[in-house]
C-alpha cells in the first residue's frame, strides 16, 4: 500500500501572519483553528488538496536555510508552467519576491524565512 502524506507542520512565531500568507499565496482554505488553555491562538490548519499544512505556534527562532538543509527545508508547491508568472507576481505582492530560479522552479521566503518553491518539474 502506498502511503499519502497526511500533514506538514510548520512552526511560526506569528501563526496568523504565516497562515494568511499561505492562504493568500496558494488559495488554501482554513480547515481548523486551535487555541491553547489561555485562549491564545495555537495553530491554524490549511487544506493543501487533502494534505494539511499545520501552522503551529513556536517561540523558537528559525535558523535560515540556504540550499539543502538537514531535515525538511523546503515547501514546494506543484504548478503548471503557464501559472509561474502569475504566481510569482502574487508572491511578490505579498512581500515574497523571487529569491532564485531554475528552469522549472522558483524560490521564495515566507514572512518568517521558510523556503517556499513553485515547481513545474515533471516527477512522473
Query: Is 64 contained in some domain?
Result: no
User: Number of structural domains, the chain?
Assistant: 2
- Per-residue pLDDT at 81 exceeds 80: yes
- pLDDT of 67: 78
Domain shared by 77 and 118, yes or no: yes
The average confidence (pLDDT) of the chain is 93
Q: List pLDDT tens digits, range 90-109.
A: 999 999 999 999 999 999 99
Q: Are residues 90 and 122 in the same domain?
A: yes
| Same domain as 77, residue 55 | no
Per-residue pLDDT at 16 exceeds 90? yes
Residues 36 and 84 in one domain: no
pLDDT above 90 (res 7): yes
**Which range of residues forms the domain containing residue 36?**
1-59
Domain match, 3 and 55 both: yes
State residue 69's pLDDT score: 73
31-51, pLDDT tens digit by residue?
A: 999 999 999 999 999 999 989
Determine contact, residues 11/62, Cβ cutoff 8 Å.
Answer: yes
Residues 96 and 55 in one domain: no
Query: What confidence score (pLDDT) does residue 4 get?
Result: 87
pLDDT at 123: 82
Q: What is the pTM of this model?
A: 0.91
In a domain, 11, yes or no: yes
31 lies in a domain? Answer: yes
CATH number of the structural domain spanning residue 116: 3.10.180.10
Amino acid at each position: 500500500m502506498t502511503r499519502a502524506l497526511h500533514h506538514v507542520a510548520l512552526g511560526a512565531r506569528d501563526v496568523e501572519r504565516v497562515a494568511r500568507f499561505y492562504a493568500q499565496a496558494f488559495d488554501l482554505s482554513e480547515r481548523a483553528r486551535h487555541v491553547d488553555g489561555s485562549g491564545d491562538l495555537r495553530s491554524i490548519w490549511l487544506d493543501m488538496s487533502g494534505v494539511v499544512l499545520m501552522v503551529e505556534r513556536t517561540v523558537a527562532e528559525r535558523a535560515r536555510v540556504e540550499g539543502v538543509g538537514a531535515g525538511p527545508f523546503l515547501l514546494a508547491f506543484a504548478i503548471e508552467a503557464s501559472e509561474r508568472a502569475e504566481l510569482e507576481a502574487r508572491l511578490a505582492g505579498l512581500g515574497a519576491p523571487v529569491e532564485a530560479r531554475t528552469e522549472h522552479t522558483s524560490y521564495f521566503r515566507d514572512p518568517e524565512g521558510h523556503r517556499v518553491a513553485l515547481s513545474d518539474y515533471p516527477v512522473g
